[in-house]
Structure 1
Amino acid sequence: MKTYLTAEGFINFLSYTGTGLLLLLLGVLVFELTTKFSDRELIRQGNIAVALKLWGKGIGLAIVLYTVWGHSLSLFDAFIWGVIGILTQVISYWIIEYILTPKTNLAQKVEEGNVAIGVSLFGASIAVGLIVAGSLTY
């Protein structure tokens, strides 16, 4: 007789889901700390550019976590690679902000509500997430 749902399997599911959500929350908080303004407050005020920038990073990180969970050796391994994914996205944003666009203050433009910049950063964050995720399929 096959068993489809075991207590051990369910505990593993809860462990990975909880850790993944914790890493996603941690990543979003770290992303917020990299700006000089309150992302949440500007989103409450209706700043679409900030929402796009922040949740593009969140989606990019979720893509990384999805890949990490599928290829990790253990929950600890998944956690470590998830943290590496967060750091990689933060560093990638800094590269985009300071190296690729040195004459444009992207954070200021997003704070001002420049939706074109917000969409660009949204797309860049997802692209970085896909590249990092692809790099984690060892």
Structure 2
Amino acid sequence: MALTEWIEWGSIGSFLAHVVVGLLLLFLGIIVFELTTKFNDRELIRKGNLAVALKLWGKGIGLAIVIYTVWSNSFNLVDAAVWGIVGIVTQVIAYWIIEYVMTPKTNLAKKVEEGNIAVGFTLFAAAIAVGFIVAGSLTY
């Protein structure tokens, strides 16, 4: 049996297109989250601030969950990309609600910038929880 009988080259192209668009959406979401902080996430991570790394990559994992769900439930790549963007925007808004509305007397961003690992981990977990909620909401 020849390899071409086992593999549909169109499927490989579709796979690669989904990987590239998915990674672009993930990076776009991370950049949007970085723009919403008053400090430079990457610089603080380079300096060893674990709290910032937890906060940022919790959001990344939450976004990846959303993108996975969108890919699993979309009709095509354009549909997936549109719903991926909707998922990113929804997750950013939901995270703002958690960070600023539910804890109005605590400056969580300042605590994370100071390296408070407990706050960083709390935000890490919250971002993943939000990712699951947004992802589940996209499966209507």
TM-score range, shorter chain: over 0.9
* d(CA) in 1 for partners of 2:6, 2:33: 39
Q: Provide the aligned length of Structure 1 versus Structure 2.
A: 138
* d(CA) in 2 for partners of 1:127, 1:3: 43
Residue 126 in 1 paired to residue 128 in 2? Answer: yes
* d(CA) in 2 for partners of 1:88, 1:98: 15
* Structure 1 residue 4: Cα displacement: 3.0
Q: In structure 2, what residue type is equivalent to 1:73?
A: F
Q: TM-score, normalised by structure 2?
A: 0.95
Q: In structure 2, what residue type is equivalent to 1:92?
A: A
* d(CA) in 1 for partners of 2:135, 2:99: 22
* d(CA) in 1 for partners of 2:66, 2:6: 28
Residue 101 of structure 1 is matched in structure 2 by 103
Which aligned pairs between 1:1-138 and structure 2 lie closer than 5 A? 3-138=5-140
* Structure 1 residue 57: Cα displacement: 0.2
* d(CA) in 2 for partners of 1:108, 1:78: 35
Extract unaligned runs of 5+ from structure 2. none
Alignment RMSD (CA, Å): 1.3
Question: CA offsets per residue over residues 62-102 of structure 1, 9 Å max, x none?
Answer: 00100100100110110011111111111112101221000
> Share of identical aligned residues, percent?
68
* d(CA) in 2 for partners of 1:3, 1:125: 43
* d(CA) in 1 for partners of 2:124, 2:28: 18
